[in-house]
Structure 1
């Protein structure tokens, strides 16, 4: 599976977890990765998961856990660079995409900053509004200045 597909699964799981309490994280991880829950109703999600190796699933889980662990620091950094749009005002889709890219920029040395930003813009094109692409790019560009 390509790294961009793994990143997309990280985004989907982070977005899903944003609607649940932290106590539900393990259960939601299990639902997502065990092909149950929403995957029964949405075969395209099941296809994504069934193609993942155990190593890729572990990468998704570790990344999600690391982002959640560092979300306060990530949000502080996002708020520092986004003047009129604090995290509390951002759409959940845009915020989740920005958090994922910010995590990669701050904590994942294997992902170049330009790649993190480009991949975030691609996710914004797929899942965001018409304005998401420019918004995500703008916030993240200021993030790496």
Structure 2
């Protein structure tokens, strides 16, 4: 599975955080992984998550847990650089994408900054509004300048 597909799965799981408290996220992780298993049982569903290896599942789970553990710090960093757009005002999709990218830029040495930003912009194109791409890029560019 491509790293961008793994990142998309991480995004989908993190997005659930805005609708569930952190205590429920373990259950949400299990639901998500069960869904991945169900996809394997229905070949008519064209979804690459069915090809996720155990190692890739562990990467998704560990990354999600690390981000959840660091959300207060990540949100503080976002609030420091985003003028007039604090995390409380951001759309849930944009905030989730930005949190993931900030984690990768600031806390994951395996992801180059430019890759984190580019992948975040791609997620914004797929899941955000027409303005999300520029907004996400604008916020994240302040982390690498």
Same fold (TM over 0.5): yes
Other-structure match for 1:13: 13
- TM-score of the aligned structures, taking structure 1 as reference length: 0.92
- TM-score of the aligned structures, taking structure 2 as reference length: 0.92
Q: CA deviation at 1:48?
A: 3.4
Give RMSD over aligned pairs: 1.7
Q: Are positions 1:134 and 2:130 aligned together? A: no
Other-structure match for 2:27: 27
User: Equivalents in 1 of 2:30, 2:49: separation in Å?
Assistant: 12
Other-structure match for 1:84: 84
Are 2:15 and 2:93, in contact at CA under 8 Å, matched by a contact in 1? yes
User: Equivalents in 2 of 1:99, 1:134: separation in Å?
Assistant: 16
User: Equivalents in 2 of 1:142, 1:107: separation in Å?
Assistant: 16
User: Equivalents in 1 of 2:90, 2:17: separation in Å?
Assistant: 16
User: Equivalents in 1 of 2:18, 2:29: separation in Å?
Assistant: 12
User: How many residues are aligned here?
Assistant: 140
Q: CA deviation at 1:17?
A: 2.3
Which runs of no fewer than 5 residues in structure 1 stay unpaired?
none
Q: Deviations over 1:8-33 (max 9, x none)?
A: 00000100122101121111000001
Other-structure match for 2:103: 103
User: Equivalents in 2 of 1:73, 1:17: separation in Å?
Assistant: 16
User: Equivalents in 2 of 1:98, 1:22: separation in Å?
Assistant: 18
Q: CA deviation at 1:65?
A: 0.2
User: Equivalents in 2 of 1:73, 1:123: separation in Å?
Assistant: 22
User: Equivalents in 2 of 1:111, 1:131: separation in Å?
Assistant: 25
Q: Deviations over 1:13-70 (max 9, x none)?
A: 100122101121111000001127x979xx45xx333110000000000000000000
User: Equivalents in 2 of 1:22, 1:57: separation in Å?
Assistant: 19
Are 1:17 and 1:25, in contact at CA under 8 Å, matched by a contact in 2? yes
